[in-house]
Amino acid sequence: MSKPLFSSESLSSLLVPGVSERWTAVQDRLHPALVDLAEQVRAEATVTFPRIWPNYEVSFKSQRYLNRGQGQRDPIHDYWVAFDRAPRGAGVLVVVSGAEQAILVGIQLWRSRKNELASLWGGARSVWLPLVERIETEGEARFTETGGGRQKAGGREAGVQNPASCLLPPASGPLWIDRYLTSKGAGYLWAGFVYPWESLSADLTTRLVADVCALLPLNEALMEQAEVGDPSGPAMLREGHTSYHSADPPPIEVIAERVHARGFTISNLLLRSYHIALQTRPLVILPGISGTGKTRLTRLYADAAHGIAPGRDNPYYLLVAVQPDWHSARDLLGYYNALTGAYHASAFTRFLLQAAADPQQAHYVCLDELNLARPEYYLAPILSAMETLEGSMDLGLPTAESPLAGGGSIRSPLRLPVNLRITGTVNVDESTFALSDKILDRANLIELTDVDLAAYRASYGGPVDEEAWAMIVAVQPVAAEAGHPFGYRAIGEMLRFVEQARGTLGTCAALDLQIKQKVLPRLRGEDAPRLRRALSALLSLTLGIEQRVWAKASSISAEQLAVAPYPESASKLRRMLERLDQDGFTDFY
């Protein structure tokens, strides 16, 4: 026999005396049961409502106490999980009530959605009548009046609102929905089903999931009515309404074609790996040598996924340049200003709100140079949200909702949108921090280190001098062998420099300067076989003489340097090797 979802121990957590003691007990004993229930609702709704369910968010009660004023706080009386979506004003809740010692599942509706309910009931009464009659006969409906009282049809008092209730006449009169709509003072409405603790059935979980799925279509119809009535969207930034399209990206073949059409060089395996990783986890890390196109890949993929033409802005892509002085989540998310009473949202947070308001569109963020600061610090709320069903991030607001500086409002905790894809680019050098296991455990890491010279040559759009290209092809693997390779960015700049130098410098003279300016400054370190081999091989290439001829750098004469095809680079390499011989260390300077 399977263990019941709500045990007596979990339910009794709402009876524990003390404010903090009760909250702790609820989180330890009751919250996991509601998380399990939410997961079962998700599994069922994904199959039953594949079109509408991706729009919905799951949230849990976050208020830890009841504020009675004048510093008096009481323990919470109930704990709930809610299923709702923008533009909100209504939602489906499962409430565990300690005050009533009952579990309630129902739809709640605020006064702002009363007109939408009236429109639905008046225009499609026959559609909603079975559900309304079922609530009338098997469940309860309660609503507040302007004077602060509450009315209820049938059954017992619910724990959704605290004011005392008044019983309505027996159900032989008008249906509860008619009584609510005709009552001018009626505001908040709750309608659903009540399951007392004392008589919970063995199939309670199945019944709760079925009840939620029975109420979701009514909530969805209310949201669609609200969207029709307010096409410009509500004031809350994160709830702005946008037209929805398919959340699935195009096939990888289409994405690959679009990416390669932009002249980008990447292997088919790497692109497919990146494509799959983005669909698997919301965080992908791209380490690799500078100039291999890590940042550009994130933009080109986002453009390809949304069919954005070259040169056009992509509203579904955000580039965030990580700063070395970032020490906390405030640097990435923004902060609450207690003096102004407003939340100063960063561009990243506003992008999160945009993604939350348009859940059917994938949104892509690139955290460029992710490890210039310690990502464990400034990404802490996001890393935690990735591992929880709620996906919530505490913004540190004093209240559940706060105005945004510049207009709009924001709620805390803020849910990490499920349609958000984050990519961090990483360079590994002395200016960056190593990635901890906490980061690596939550991300797919795809290394971009290989430089495909033939593929880059085929995709390069500018003119290529054959002599210069042959030398670049010879130099690049030598630098890579030394552990200091250069990527596509450096190659492209070298080719453009040579082309720009026409009429001013010869090809060899221009490339000589580029090798000295862009390749040699990378080479540094203590005396080690691979560094010495690389410096010696480059000296032979630039000097035009095999190493067995010159043997030692100090033996190279000024005459040999003068007739070298790349004299500037050869001279610098000779000095670097001489220093390596003398000091056991060398660098460009």
Q: What is the pLDDT of residues 193-236, one digit of tens each?
A: 999 999 999 999 999 999 999 999 999 989 888 876 544 343 33
Give the Cα separation of 272 and 301 in Å (integer).
11
> What tens digit of pLDDT does each residue of 479-537 get?
888 878 787 888 888 888 988 888 898 888 998 899 888 888 888 888 888 888 888 88
Instruction: Say whether both 170 and 40 belong to one domain.
Output: yes
The domain total for the chain is 3
Percent of the chain beyond pLDDT 70?
Answer: 90
Whether residues 164 and 84 share a domain: the answer is: yes
pLDDT at 557: 82
Residue 412 binned pLDDT confidence (cut-offs 50, 70, 90): confident
pLDDT value, residue 101? 95
> How far apart, in whole angstroms, are the C-alpha atoms of residue 393 and residue 385?
6
- Residue 575: its H or E element: helix 567-583
CA distance 386 to 282: 8
Last residue of a domain, one of 172, 198, 229: 229
Per residue in 251-294, pLDDT tens? 899 999 999 888 888 888 989 999 999 988 889 999 887 777 88
Q: What is the pLDDT of residue 138?
A: 95
Q: What is the CATH number of the domain that holds 141?
A: 3.30.930.20
Do 288 and 431 belong together in one domain? yes
- pTM of this prediction? 0.54
Three-state DSSP class for 196? strand
**Statement to judge: residues 362 and 389 lie in one domain:** yes
Closest by CA to 427, choosing from 412, 410, 449, 444, is: 449
Mean pLDDT, residues 160-165 taken together: 36
Clarify whether residues 325 and 399 are in a common domain.
yes
In this structure, are 468 and 433 located in the same domain?
Answer: no
Do 146 and 89 fall within a single domain?
A: yes
Is position 234 within any domain? no
Sheet bearing 78-84, strands edge to edge: 57-60, 78-84, 90-97, 102-109, 189-196, 140-144, 150-153, 165-167
Residue 1 domain flag:
no
Helix, coil or strand: residue 232: coil
Question: What number of other Cβ atoms are within 10 A of residue 146's Cβ?
Answer: 11
In a domain, 454, yes or no: no
At residue 77, does pLDDT exceed 60?
Answer: yes
Would the CA dihedral through 82, 351, 49, 123 be positive or negative?
A: positive
Residue 204 CB: number of other CB atoms within 10 A? 16
The CATH number that applies at residue 300 is 3.40.50.300
**Residue 580 domain-assigned (yes or no):** yes
CB 487 within 8 A of CB 292: yes
Does residue 259 share a domain with residue 220?
no
* Confidence tier at 145 by pLDDT (50, 70, 90): low
User: Does 421 fall in a domain?
Assistant: yes
Q: Which domain holds residue 132?
A: 8-229
Query: Do residues 565 and 506 share a domain?
Result: yes
Instruction: Name which residue leads in pLDDT, 26 or 440.
Output: 26
pLDDT of 148 strictly over 60: no
Question: Last residue of some domain: 445, 475, 500?
Answer: 445
Q: Is 3 part of a structural domain of the chain?
A: no
Within a domain: 238:
no
190, 221: one domain: yes
**Do 140 and 263 fall within a single domain?**
no
pLDDT tens by residue, 168-193: 434 456 899 999 999 888 888 999 99
Classify residue 440: in a domain, yes or no: yes
| Cβ–Cβ under 8 Å, residues 215 and 132 | no
pLDDT at residue 239, rounded to an integer: 36
Q: What is the pLDDT of residue 76?
A: 93
Whether 419 and 491 map to the same domain: the answer is no
Residue that terminates a domain, selected from 445, 475, 490: 445
Q: What are phi and psi of 452, to 5 degrees?
A: -95, 95
Strand segments, DSSP code E, in 481-553 are 525-526
The per-residue pLDDT of the chain, averaged, comes to: 84
Q: 70: pLDDT confidence band, cut at 50, 70 and 90?
A: low
Per residue in 294-340, pLDDT (tens digit) is: 899 999 999 999 988 888 889 999 999 999 888 888 889 988 888 88
